[in-house]
Structure 1
Amino acid sequence: MAVKLFSPYTIKGVTFKNRIVMSPMCMYSCHNQDGHVENWHRTHYASRAVGQVGLIMVEATAVTPQGRISPQDLGIWSDDHIKGLKELVSLVKEHGSKIGIQLAHAGRKAELEGDILGPSAIAFNEQSKTPKEMTKEDIADTVEAFKKGAERAKKAGFDVIEIHGAHGYLINEFLSPLSNKRQDEYGGSAENRYRFLREIIDAVKTVWVGPLFVRVSANDYQEGGLTPEDYIVFAHWMKEQGVDLIDVSSGAVVPARINVYPGYQVKFSETVRNGADIATGAVGLITSPIQAEEILQNERADLVFLARELLRDPYWPRTAAKELGVTIEGPKQYERGWR
């Protein structure tokens, strides 16, 4: 039986050498609070490329200063950011990995000085700041910011763009009826709540023709919130707009108790994949090679996104290959110790 984890995967002419993806994880390491790439980012991402990860997703990168989760987040709101991001792309590609970037806006979950934005003036919890309800002009400006971010990602040489529509950040806030109480064309029905994401996808696609992913939170874990079945509808719409893959996570749009266990989100990936006939990525406490291979062989996802496991072991692909009986090439500089 062929091991699927180490089979190549191609989207729009971009081929990942295996199905292992480094999930976007915030590093909160821009110490000058200017959103620029620093040495930590160069070391962090390049080391996973040396470890032979097929696709490396750069952390949530803010399309506006106001859209940062924290002052230490990476940014892509200025042309000044392109140079550092371009260096990051070069470092990763030098080792045979593909690289993507997650374009993001934190919305009401931004922990910043000054006003923060949301679809409605509802705080995330009692300890959080209440956001300013976005005007039509705010919405149009933010859609344009995502477009400009995509233009800069293209100039930096990224292979993939992922739009961050999960984890309770701005796009997710528009999608969920728990956080979106608007009475205009951006609130109410599912189609209206999807409108903001629809406009962002359309805007990004005017400047980006490469692989396009969207990360979603496929379960709000709250009565009256969204379920995986709701995301089948959204995924159909995304597919019609030309989105190539849905990166399926869950939760964090409102405080909720979540039963967390190995692979607890994989079933959501499977539901969306089969329900909308679209490629998906599975994420969420995926740690073992056999677990990852099972997900792919049983067609529960097309790519496997690893997060904390790749923090613990930057060379996890080598670990997986040995366990699954596959030989993979490593850096020639490491040849004496690789096998």
Structure 2
Amino acid sequence: MFAALSDAIEVVPMSTADAGDAVVDRLAMRVLDGRGGRRVLAGHLAASSRRRGRLLAKRLRRTGARAVVGVAASQDLAHLGGQWSVTHVSDATFHLVQDFYPIYSSLQPWAARQGGLVERRAITRAQSVVTATEWARASVIDDYGKPPGRVHTIPFGPGCDLAGAARPAGDAGAPLRVLMVSSDWERKGGPRVLEVASLLRDQGVLIELTVVGDHPVLPPWVRGVGRVPHDDMPGYYATHDVLLELALANAAGVTLTDAAHAALPVVATHTGGTATIVLDEKTGLLVSPREDAVIREAVRALRRLDTDRSLLAAISVSARDHARTRLSWDGWAADVVALVGQVP
């Protein structure tokens, strides 16, 4: 992201928390977190946000900047004074992630209110808001009242350096090579993936499942490779037929973007901002995240791809084209720079 911006914008890390600031937040977390069984995110409290805003203002005065592009920096922007024009970039809002992601669940009511107010101040402070998905854009407009003309969806680019070739149709009798990338086993739907793969095996489908990343002890028929070097990920994307991601929560989904750049079709839950990254029936197949439907629909989707390898090949071509035209860091940077230039 920052490399793509660097030719047009001086990139200064937005996090203004120095070592002392970080210590204050950690101490606050230690004192407040967990009381009454509920959590406090000290970095999202008003006092922390005011401190970060003051530090950011000092830093900006030293740089002589006239405009600010804040990436996932609502805490820094909410209490930023001065006349700087602000473009706020995010993949979600506080309203969306509360009780959606585990870290934002079971918050103290007063802490949740402060987090929401910090988000609202940041969105109000910004002249323009850039969201990674239509899901996040709708929240900025509907939940925080930002005028639609001030909110723009510009999807993020990939997390890996990928340039995948589209997959040929292949042999319908060959095993279906399924990949799961697990940064968080439970949130990424690991148990769901195992159940789907097991059901397919019981139905006589030839399936080879590989799990990369965090995972528990796996059945002997699953290849679990644990965490791998970042540079090795393109090889895993290139040697599989489909990415299976049955996540409980997904804001933008970098693995889904990586898969598109690798021309790898996706079967994923329609949750969060997934539908901006995975175009249903074009670059992948989306299934319901509901517990009463997800397993059944995922099994059906994978069986469909297994029996119709020409569909798998067509989706691969569409995924590659979508990545090049819509999920590119160079395109993202060009759009953001153009947007900043329009802000008065």
User: If the length of structure 1 is used for normalisation, what is the TM-score?
Assistant: 0.32
Computing the radius of gyration over CA atoms, which structure comes out larger, 1 or 2?
A: 2
User: If the length of structure 2 is used for normalisation, what is the TM-score?
Assistant: 0.31
Q: Please identify which structure carries the higher helix content.
A: 2
